[in-house]
Structure 1
């Protein structure tokens, strides 16, 4: 069926393809617009249980539980903090009140943004002990490296994944769109490539030549590797928030089957970063294979430890 759709599309003249794409975009955008603009129930989970965190994120991915570093960061932190949480199955159009994914709800209240959600849940659920042993220098370094990863390192990797190798990335999409999957992927690639390229420029990094952009990311990775050294986790033998953040982003490089200068550096020079990712994956993601093979959001990960 998918092949038939694409064969029909390729048989059209140029004007026909343009009309078909325009019609598909219009057909897809109208319901999405109506859904996203329509006030949704708050909280989304009406039958919530006291003390349970409900997480909203994109569907599971191949080779990695989430292709969103922010979602992987947040879910890893929930596991590190030993918080009772449930993933909620929602349409892909569902977003937080700020218009983004992931977000969480607790006791009927929404907490958007992965970083702010971790901050708020730490206080609400009494998880301050996770970082009670950190001194001021460690706290400052942790915040600095978190922000570097999110606002510098990741955008240099985005140059590879979303711009230069978007075709390889799109091939890993789970088949959730039925016969329209090829058209959906074509539209996604067209939009994401230009959109991310613009965001990289907006971040300031994209104003440099391509090789300099990549070099910035490699220097960031070397800095993380040097600070980590032989430590078990970023600040010693106890995982903290910065570990969830670094893992959420580094895992995109290490476990995604897309070649990049970033992964080459980790495999050949900064090998402690690969060991670091494997260590966190092994401890907090014993259900990794099940998540990626079945793409289930509802695995009993605690029973596997």
Structure 2
């Protein structure tokens, strides 16, 4: 006996299913926006101290104030520029209006992405870091930043979250991430690294690139006190934010960090100099 389906009887159910699916899709867009709006309202101009930056970052860690090079980059710039600020390490506030960390709030304005934050603060505080470097020198500094953020960062990310072995162990031990969270990040960053392109290459190739890229930064740094010479420039914030992770962050447990300490004493000296100059309270900032 064949079951006869009445189209007229099915149509209401189909319509209800389509409506429910539409509601689910709509909710997936609306709810995150409502949550972000609610988060931002907690840092409106009337609820925060005037002209004081609220830096929304990650929680403090045991060896370094921020395990994210981008968070430490922004905090370093703020300190270099002597801008008054408060640090917000509440994990529920870590992701800002673009779903990125870090972000900042200032007098009711909310800005996301470390580089955009720095450019925003430069305008608000009238370019507070002054030096006499030429446009060509500043262009070289910019390219160093881009190399650190768009290449070296990703190469180290593979070691920490994608390749099995000591990187994932270091993340669990240093950041106190549970195993399941590390596995989640493994899947997440594997996809991102593949889309970026660096994840399509074999481990030995990427490791070779990483050492050469860091050596190039060391060559440009040379015997300089700061990246370009005797005076700091804006990009020193990024250089310190990234390279300090290899000395005091979870990346300090990597083979690459050992090579840097052995071959590039100028990088070690540079990071120590920046730390002493801009973070006299370093130990007080660490997770207890």
Question: Which runs of no fewer than 5 residues in structure 2 stay unpaired?
Answer: 1-29
Matches of residues 32-43 of structure 1 in structure 2 within 5 Å?
38=35, 39-43=37-41
Map 1:186-197 → 2, pairs under 5 A: 186-197=179-190
The equivalent position to 2:43 in structure 1, one of 38, 42, 45, is: 45
Contact 1:53 1:85 (8 Å CA) reproduced? yes
Number of residues paired by the alignment?
Answer: 252
Give the TM-score normalised by the residue count of structure 1.
0.77
Partner of 1:67: 67
Separation of aligned partners in 1, 2:260 and 2:91: 36
Query: Aligned in 2, Cα 1:86/1:93: closer, same or farther, shift over 3 Å?
Result: closer
The answer to whether the 8 Å contact 1:43/1:105 transfers is no
| Distance in 1 of aligned mates of 2:272 and 2:39 | 39
| TM-aligned CA deviation for residue 173 of structure 1 | 2.8
Query: Quick check: 2:62–2:174 contact (8 Å CA) kept in 1?
Result: yes
Task: After superposition, give the CA deviation of every residue in 1:128-151 in whole Å (9 maximum; x if it has no partner).
Answer: 5x2441211111111111111001
Aligned mate of 1:239, from 232, 244, 257: 232
Q: Deviation string for 1:97-138 (max 9, x for gaps)?
A: 10111111111101111100001101111125x244121111
Q: CA 1:136 to 1:49, structure 2 compared with 1: closer, same or farther past 3 Å?
A: same
2:274 is matched with: 280
The answer to whether the 8 A contact 1:43-1:109 is kept is no
After TM superposition, list the pairs within 5 Å mapping 1:108-119 onto structure 2: 108-119=108-119
Between structure 1 and structure 2, the one with the greater Rg is 2
How big is the shift at 1:186? 2.4
Separation of aligned partners in 2, 1:252 and 1:161: 12
In the aligned structure 2, how far is the partner of 1:150 from the partner of 1:218? 15
**2: CA distance, partners of 1:36 / 1:185:** 29
TM-score normalized with structure 2 length: 0.81
